[in-house]
Amino acid sequence: MDFDINEMTYEQAVLELEKTVKALEAGTVSLDDSVKLYQLGVNLSNRCAELLADAENKVSILTETTGESRTERPFSPGSDALEVPFE
């Protein structure tokens, strides 16, 4: 492995994960290499999940409260994200 998973962007990790899955699905690698690839895939998947969670925490919805003042509240994935928070 010539890369540091913890330094990868989301896009880089997804690309490497796709390559890893294709190699496993091809069925042309030894059992030992399959286990290593599986382990790599788990690590890449964890990195993607971590980056998605970080991005989700950074997303906020601006809500108009009174006049010109605005407050921020964390993005809630269960909420209707397309709903306009103010009129």
Average pLDDT over residues 34-54: 96
Query: How many CB atoms neighbour CB 13 within 10 A?
Result: 23
| Domain membership of residue 65 as a residue range | 1-75+83-87
Of the pLDDT bands very low, low, confident and very high (cuts 50, 70, 90), residue 58 is: confident
pLDDT reported for residue 73 = 63
- This prediction has a pTM of 0.68
pLDDT reported for residue 13 = 97
For the chain, what percent of residues have pLDDT higher than 70? 66
Number of domains composing the chain: 1
pLDDT at 38 over 50: yes
Tell the burial category of 45 from Cβ atoms under 10 Å away from its Cβ (0-12, 13-18, 19+). middle
Average pLDDT over residues 16-44: 97
